[in-house]
Amino acid sequence: MTTVLIKGLGLIGSSLALSIKQAHPTVHIIGIDRDDVSLSYARQQGMIDASGTDLAAVASDADVIILAGPVDVIVADLHRLAMMPLKAGVLVTDVGSTKQVVMHAALAIQQHGVTFIGGHPMAGSHKSGVTAGRANLFENAFYLLVPGRTNQAAVQRLQALLQATHVKWLTVTAIQHDRIVGQLSHLPHIVAAALVDQTQVALADSALGLRLAAGGFKSITRIASSDPTMWAAILMTNAELITNQLQGYIDQLLRIKTAIRVHDQATLYEFFATAKVTRDHLGPEQLGGLPNFYDLFLNVPDRVGALADVTQRLAQAQLSLVNIHILEIREEIDGVLQLTFSDLKTRTQASSLLADAGYQIVRRN
C-alpha cells in the first residue's frame, strides 16, 4: 500500500488529495494541518484516510510527502524533514509558488539521499482553505517541475501519482521559474492589491465609492481577495526579482503618466494598441485547452440558469462533454464558457445546436 502524506490541507493540498484519490483509490492519504476543522472536513469528505498535526509523528510512514503550506512553512518543513528518519525511497515534493528558496532548503534532505522534486501547479484561486478544494482545479494548467538532478523515474512516479490532475507538465529551473512566475503571478497580485487599497483611500470620502465598481475594476482586482499570509510569504521568498519587476512596472506607469500630462496622443494610443495585440493573442485556449481535444468557446449571458441551459441542451442531444470551464463571468456582462469535446464531430454538432439556440460562438479550436 502506498502512503501519501500531505502537509497543508488548504486549497492546493486538498485538491491534490482529491485527484490522487480519483486515480488511485487505494492510496492511503494522511493529512496534516494545524487547523483541526480542516482535517475533520477532509476526513468527512473522504479526501484523506488519516490525519495528524505533527509532521514528526507520521513522516517516516510516508512513501510520498507533499508539502502544501505557505512557502515559508514549506521551507521550515524541509529543514525539519532533514532531521527526521524517513522511509527508504521516499519522494518529497512541494507546491510552493516560489522555487529558488525551496530548492535551497531541500539541499539538506537531498544530502541525506532523499529525492526532492520542486513543484508548482500554475492554477489556483483567490479562495483558500480545504472547502475550496476541487479534483479538477488543475485541469489544463501547466504544472511546473524543478527536478534538479532527480532521475526521470522519480519524475514519472510523481506524474503517475498526480495523473488525474490532467495538467501539462513542464520542467524548468528554479531561477527561470521565479523570474517568469514573478512577472506573471506575483507582480499582478501586487498590482491588484495596490489598486484596491489605493481606491479605497481615494474614494473614502464618497458615499457611493467602491459600490459603483463595475466589470473593469472587478476583473482586474479579483485576485486581491487572495490569502494575505500566503502572499506575504511568496513576496518575501522572491524579493529580489519581484522588486526589479515592480520597478519596471512603476517605470511604465510613470511613462504613461507623463504622456497623459503632456497630451501625447500617439504614445497613449501605442500603449493600449500594443497591450491589446499581446492580450488578444493570449486567447482562452492558452488559459486552458486540453491538447487533442476540441474546444468551443461561447458567450453566455450573466443570468441565473444560463450554464444549466447549455448543459441540458447538450445532454438532451446526447452530446457528451469532456470538460466545462467558465473562463470569465462578470456581473451584468456576458461571460465566456469553454466547452471541451473529445471529437470534432461532437463539437460541430454542439456548435450548431447552441448557435441555433441563440448562443454566440466566440471561437473553435
Ligand X SMILES: O=C(O)C(=O)C[C@]1(C(=O)O)C=C[C@@H](O)C=C1
Ligand Y SMILES: NC(=O)c1ccc[n+]([C@@H]2O[C@H](COP(=O)([O-])OP(=O)(O)OC[C@H]3O[C@@H](n4cnc5c(N)ncnc54)[C@H](O)[C@@H]3O)[C@@H](O)[C@H]2O)c1
Shortest CB 307 distance to ligand Y, Å: 23
Select from ligand Y, ligand X, none the partner in contact with residue 34, using the beta carbon and a kind-dependent cut-off of 5 to 8 Å: ligand Y
Q: Which does 11 bind (CB under 5 to 8 A by kind): ligand X, ligand Y, none?
A: ligand Y
Minimal distance, residue 189 CB to ligand X, in Å? 6
CB of 190 to ligand Y, least distance (A): 15
Choose one: 11-19, 23-31, 57-65, 167-175; the region binding ligand Y (CB under 6 A).
11-19
What letter represents residue 317's amino acid? A
Q: Is 35 in the site for ligand Y (CB under 6 A)?
A: yes
Distance between CA 197 and CA 221 in Å, rounded? Answer: 10
Residue 10 interacts with ligand Y (CB under 6 A): yes or no: yes
The yes or no reply on residue 47 touching ligand Y (CB under 6 A) is no
Based on CB atoms, which residue is closest to ligand X, 231 or 294?
A: 231
CB of 124 to ligand Y, least distance (A): 2
Stretch that binds ligand Y, among 34-42, 213-221, 302-310, 347-355 (CB under 6 A): 34-42
Query: Can residue 71 be called a binding residue for ligand Y (CB under 6 A)?
Result: yes
By the criterion CB under 6 A, which residues form the site for ligand X?
97, 122-126, 185, 223, 226
What the block records as the C-alpha cell of 337 is 464558457
Burial annotation 243-258 (CB, 10 A radius, 16+ → b, else e):
eebbeebeeeeeeeee
* DSSP result, 122-142: S---S--SGGG--TTTTTT-E
Single-letter amino acid, residue 223: I
Buried b (16+ CB within 10 A) or exposed e, 174-212: beebbbebbbebbbebbbbbeebeeeeeeeeeeeeeeee
Cβ 46 to ligand X shortest distance, Å = 26
Q: Is the dihedral of CA 234, 79, 99, 49 positive or negative?
A: negative
Report what 223 binds from ligand X, ligand Y, none; CB cut-off 5-8 Å by kind: ligand X
Cβ distance to ligand X smaller for residue 7 or 189: 189
**Out of 5, 59, 145, 234, which residue is the one contacting ligand Y (CB under 6 A)?**
234
| Residue 133 binds which entry of ligand X, ligand Y, none, CB below 5-8 Å type-dependent | none
Nearer of residues 10 and 147 to ligand Y, judged by Cβ: 10
Give the E-state strand segments of 237-359 in sequence order. Answer: 294-300, 323-330, 333-341
Among 6, 16, 29, 69, binds ligand Y (CB under 6 A): 69
Residue 38 binding ligand Y, by CB under 6 A: yes
Under the binding rule (CB under 6 A), the answer on residue 97 touching ligand Y is: yes
**How far is the C-alpha of 11 from the C-alpha of 131, rounded, in Å?**
7
- For residue 117, the 8-state DSSP code is E
d(CA 71, CA 239): 13
How many whole angstroms separate alpha carbon 8 and alpha carbon 35? 9
Contacts of 199 (CB under 8 A, 6+ apart): 210, 217
Q: In this structure, what C-alpha cell is assigned to residue 179? A: 523570474
Distance in angstroms (rounded) separating the CA atoms of residues 67 and 72: 11
Give the H/E segment covering residue 181. Answer: helix 174-181
Judged by beta carbon, residue 12 or residue 350, the one nearer ligand Y is 12
Per CB under 6 A, residues contacting ligand Y are 8-13, 33-35, 38, 68-71, 73-74, 95-97, 120-121, 124-125, 128-129, 227, 230, 234
